[in-house]
Amino acid sequence: MEKLKIQHGIFNDPLKYRWVMFAVVGAIYFMACLHRVAPTVIARDLAQAFNADAMTLGMIASAYFLMYSAVQPPVGVLTDTIGPRRVITIFTATACAGGVIFGLATNENMAILGRALIGAGVGGVFIPTLKIFSKWHRANEFASLTGIFLAIGSLGNLSGALPLTYLVLFLGWRISFVALGALSLLLALICWVIVRDKPEEKGWLPVGELTVEEHAAGDTASENISTLKRLGLVLMEPSFWMITISAFFSGAGLSFQGLWAVPYLMDVHGLSRVQAGSMLMMIPLGFMIGAPAFGFITDKLDLSRKPILLAALSLNIFSWIILILLKPGTLSGVIIPLFLIMGFFGGGALPLFMTIVKELFPPWLTGTAVGLMNPAAFLATALYQPFTGFLMDRTARLTSGSYSLEAYQHVFIAFLISYVVAFVSATMIKVPKLKQT
């Protein structure tokens, strides 16, 4: 096996240069996750601007997740064919357009269009990045890297809570989103200049276990496989469906973090917007810790992924039971650790989903396989946000315009049932044994 050629300087050393690329795609993913949870901070502003009820707010928020989900399969195929660099650059520029349109929206339809373009644009980041990881890092580093990358996304979620709250208070929600759109365009340009699909494009040897000849053979073989054949190879694998179903139903909880968490804390527990935004930060903070922790544990300690995944899902089930039973007035003593637990184990499950899918298929199918699975959680969120809005509207609003504890409990019960289904589906996954290096 040929050894990797090492040179001096961060831009001449592939082992250092890959971390420069990691920083670039990490910044783009940070923005994607900030957009993901933004509606919960500006829910009241949107309601006032467009005279929107809960179901309309759910539709505006869900447009992101619906389009994010819709673009995942084509993004996966494009990643395997035209390459991650082109995909990330083009789609990030699309997110720029969406941010500007959303910030300038004069009605709910324009707002939905803006959110849809944001969702479609940021949907072209995660899968291509995983493909880059598979080319620039070794197989036994994949879950750890995915976890770290997800943790960076959690920083975006954190910024979509309290920091975005302050930005909106300072600039207003419209100018804030136009500015975020402009920043997305800048990041797209940086991505085009810095990111490369594989070390060979910089004149370096492949990173990892395969020799140059094995890499070339795999690339040549994959070129002769049609898109339909790629899709068929993935869709005929039973464990792929079990993973996808589990990811779908465990993704329902994103509806809470992305839309209802702040209104719940304000309506039921009487917090201000800033206080609720501070409390919400506990979920992405837990996620930021859990995602890399779970990835590191399974990579470095050679633990079976399935039991760890089942443990994470079961503790999320327990969290929803507590939230259903929680009474008004019980805050920091319960809510803070509860939100941390929800984030920690929710974050821990995601890199396991991604890694299991990756290990089911050969490297040249990584983008297609993850592209078909990744929409599950976001499609669930796109469906659950208007659905939970419908559940909320079935309970009459209070005279203050807020919702009662009973309305939120109906939503939490729906989330609980979803996580039980996710757990049952995960029990039927047949996890491939991790290849040792």
Chain Cα centroid distance, residue 213? 35
Residue 437's pLDDT is 35
Q: Which long-range contacts (CB under 8 A, 24 or more apart) does 262-265 make?
A: 262/40, 262/41, 262/43, 263/40, 263/43, 263/44, 263/402, 263/403, 264/408, 265/335
Residue 112's pLDDT is 92
Domain tally, the chain: 1
DSSP 150-195: HHHHHHHHHHTTHHHHHHHHHH-HHHHHHHHHHHHHHHHHHHHHH-
The answer to whether position 130 is within a domain reads yes
Q: What is the C-alpha separation between 399 and 363, in angstroms, rounded?
A: 57
pLDDT digits (tens, 9 = 90+) for 195-243: 998 888 887 877 754 444 444 445 555 556 777 888 888 888 888 999 9
pLDDT tens for each residue of the chain, 437 residues long: 444 444 556 777 788 888 999 999 999 999 888 887 777 778 778 888 888 777 788 788 878 878 888 898 899 889 888 999 999 999 999 999 999 999 998 888 999 999 999 999 999 999 899 889 888 888 777 778 888 888 888 788 777 767 888 888 888 889 988 998 899 999 999 999 999 988 888 878 777 544 444 444 455 555 567 778 888 888 888 889 999 999 999 887 777 877 788 888 888 888 887 788 788 878 878 888 888 888 777 777 666 778 888 988 999 999 999 988 888 766 667 888 888 888 888 877 877 888 888 778 887 787 788 888 877 877 787 788 788 888 888 876 666 668 888 888 888 999 999 999 999 999 998 866 544 33
Chain Cα centroid distance, residue 407? 27
pLDDT digits (tens, 9 = 90+) for 276-327: 878 887 887 888 888 888 877 777 766 677 888 898 899 999 999 998 888 8
Supply the CATH number for residue 116's domain. Answer: 1.20.1250.20
Contact indicator for 369, 241 with CB cutoff of 8 Å: no
The answer to whether position 288 is within a domain reads yes
SS3 102: helix
The answer to whether position 310 is within a domain reads yes
The answer to whether position 171 is within a domain reads yes
The model's pTM is: 0.71
Residue 401's pLDDT is 65
Contact indicator for 343, 290 with CB cutoff of 8 Å: yes
- Look-up of token digits 């500006």: 42
The answer to whether position 21 is within a domain reads yes
The answer to whether position 183 is within a domain reads yes
Residue 350's pLDDT is 79
SS3 42: coil
Range of the domain at 68: 14-201+227-426
Please name the residues in contact with 175: beta carbons below 8 A apart, sequence gap of 6 or more.
103
The answer to whether position 212 is within a domain reads no
Residue 332's pLDDT is 61
Residue 224's pLDDT is 64
Helix residue ranges per DSSP H, 42-81: 43-50, 54-81
The answer to whether position 331 is within a domain reads yes
